[in-house]
Amino acid sequence: MMKEVVEKLEEIVEKDFILTKKELIESYLFDETSIPVRPKPTLNCIVVKPENSEQISRILKLANEKRIPVYPRGGGTGLVGGAVPTKDGIVISLERMKRIEVDRENLIAVAEAGVTLGELLKVVEEAGLSFPPHPGDEGAQIGGLVACNAGGARAVKHGVMRNFVKGIEVVLPTGEILNLGGKLLKNNMGYNLMHLILGSEGTLGIITKAVIRLCPKAEYTLTLVLPFNSRHEALSTVPTILTKGISPLALEYVEKELMEKSAMHLGEKWNIEGKVFLVVILSGTQNEVYNEAERINQICSEKGGLEVYVAERQDEQNTILKIRSNIYTALKEESADIFDTTVPPSNIGKLADMIDKIAEKYSAYIPVYGHAADGNLHAHVMKKDIDKYEKIKSEIYEATINLGGVITGEHGIGKIRVKELYKFMSPKSIELMIGIKKLFDPNNILNPGNVLSIDENQALRTEQ
């Protein structure tokens, strides 16, 4: 079977870009999901690297006709097993689709799916413009970022990936190529199919191109570190900052122990006094930024905060952000899973406290940090507590839902949170999602078992 498929694929894509040998396909079998919870990949798959949408269309037509599972793959930085091929089939890697152009007049970049976030940032910077959100690892690709509707630390002021995507080219599982949206700021033509595909995690179509909104370069940025002696003081400061009309680029909650660990991991030092911190990035004109910094300083002292640390030099600001961003990397070796539960922002302190109680109940270590202004909290279950993993996960999810939240605000469902989607989403919503999936992908060939499980749908529904 596989031999026959390879022969057919060779009629579509050059031989050099079709991989079947174990040592060549190995790195396409996993993503960044921690090993203890990562789905088991099949070893029997073909990796294809097409160079354009037409080739992808032909591959999907072939796969649809022969009922072969297809797994779209971007940078492989996903944290929920989304890109892992779990059934014998074809992995389509977008890595060769790297064309990008900037339209300065319309403040738009048009990027093919294989352009990485790092590459997009570089091209946009060279064009004297900016792409303000930083929605994931810089090795993540545009296709993956769009497919996952990635978020990141800088969503406070500008929003998540969805707020920046104005158009896409997508290849449907049946092979048709659709162009949805465009360089438009207003578009009310019928149902918004584009927004259905954004965040569909590679289950409704393969995104091959995205039209991305850009911004003028921010004139000035300033990074503030607000130290506090208690989590309660720190987190109660967040709504006050936001309701005063201050709109930071990022507003992050971190704890001393984690910043020290991350700094050590990077060969840096974290010397700012305090038990917990809010890291605030401000952007705008120099006047605006200093005015906002002054007001934040005032709010912070009214809320019992310690002396605010102000980083003006760009290299110092970069170091603080790097230390914050690398908490995940510093914990990675010891971590069994990272959650990205999200609650209404004013409830984030309650969620963090409830997670502390769960940690105490199970004598576990559960570090927390996150995007405070978005209500998006990262909590890790560590490998040493793996025997209690299912119970801890279940209680953290229950607590989140009870606070009006969702089990994922960033990383998505992938293949490791499908059961929980069925548990926490209404049966009618699941029924509608299954209906949509069947309409786009009648033979369930595209990333089967991701987000929804058509095969186990009935069993999962009755289990709840």
Instruction: Tell me the β-bridge partners of 262.
Output: none
What one-character DSSP code corresponds to residue 353? H
* CA nearest to 386, candidates 369, 366, 357: 366
- Which CB sits closer to ligand FAD, 274 or 405? 405
Nearest distance from C-beta of residue 318 to ligand FAD, angstroms = 16
Locate 362 and state its tokens.
């199970």
Pairing of β 220-228 and β 250-255:
unpaired
H/E stretch holding 279 reads: strand 276-284
Q: Mask 177-216, x = binds ligand FAD (CB under 6 A)? A: ------------------------xx---xx---------
Nearest distance from C-beta of residue 388 to ligand FAD, angstroms = 24
- Which CB sits closer to ligand FAD, 29 or 79? 79
Q: Binding residue for ligand FAD (CB under 6 A) from 94, 211, 289, 306?
A: 94
Nearest distance from C-beta of residue 196 to ligand FAD, angstroms = 13
Is residue 418 classed as helix, strand or coil in its secondary structure? helix
Q: Binding residue for ligand FAD (CB under 6 A) from 75, 85, 132, 248?
A: 75
Nearest distance from C-beta of residue 331 to ligand FAD, angstroms = 11
Nearest distance from C-beta of residue 36 to ligand FAD, angstroms = 16
H/E stretch holding 205 reads: none
For residues 200-233, one letter each, b for 16 or more C-beta atoms within 10 angstroms of the residue's C-beta and e for the rest, the string is bbbbbbbbbbbbbbbeeebeebbbbbbbbeebeb
Q: Among 9-17, 118-126, 145-153, 362-370, which window interacts with ligand FAD (CB under 6 A)? A: 145-153
CA distance 203 to 450: 7
CB 409 within 8 A of CB 341: yes
- Which CB sits closer to ligand FAD, 237 or 342? 342
The length of the chain in residues reads: 464
DSSP 227-256: EES-HHHHHHHHHHHHHTT---SEEEEEEH
Q: Among 132-140, 276-284, 399-407, 416-424, which window interacts with ligand FAD (CB under 6 A)? A: 132-140
What one-character DSSP code corresponds to residue 305? -
136 binds ligand FAD (CB under 6 A): yes
CB 56 within 8 A of CB 206: yes
- Which CB sits closer to ligand FAD, 120 or 351? 120
State which of positions 267-306 bind ligand FAD (CB under 6 A): none
State which of positions 428-457 bind ligand FAD (CB under 6 A): 447, 450
Distance from chain centroid for Cα 445 = 24
- Which CB sits closer to ligand FAD, 17 or 309? 17
Q: Among 67-75, 289-297, 342-350, 418-426, which window interacts with ligand FAD (CB under 6 A)? A: 67-75
- Which CB sits closer to ligand FAD, 141 or 223? 141
28 binds ligand FAD (CB under 6 A): no
Nearest distance from C-beta of residue 374 to ligand FAD, angstroms = 10
CA distance 109 to 214: 7
Q: Calculate the dihedral angle through the C-alpha atoms of 147, 148, 152, 155, rounding to the nearest 10 degrees.
A: 70
Count of residues in contact with ligand FAD, rule CB under 6 A? 38
41 binds ligand FAD (CB under 6 A): no
CA distance 393 to 408: 12
What count of other Cβ atoms lies within 10 Å of the Cβ of residue 88?
15
Nearest distance from C-beta of residue 361 to ligand FAD, angstroms = 29
**HEC secondary structure over 83-110:** CCCCCCEEEEECCCCCCEEEECCCCEEE
148 binds ligand FAD (CB under 6 A): yes
Expressed in angstroms, the distance from the first to the final Cα of the chain is 38
Q: Mask 321-350, x = binds ligand FAD (CB under 6 A)? A: -------xx---------------------
Q: Binding residue for ligand FAD (CB under 6 A) from 135, 167, 227, 367?
A: 135
Binding site for ligand FAD (CB under 6 A): 31-32, 71-79, 82-83, 94, 113, 135-137, 140-141, 143-145, 147-148, 150-152, 201-202, 206-207, 328-329, 410-411, 447, 450
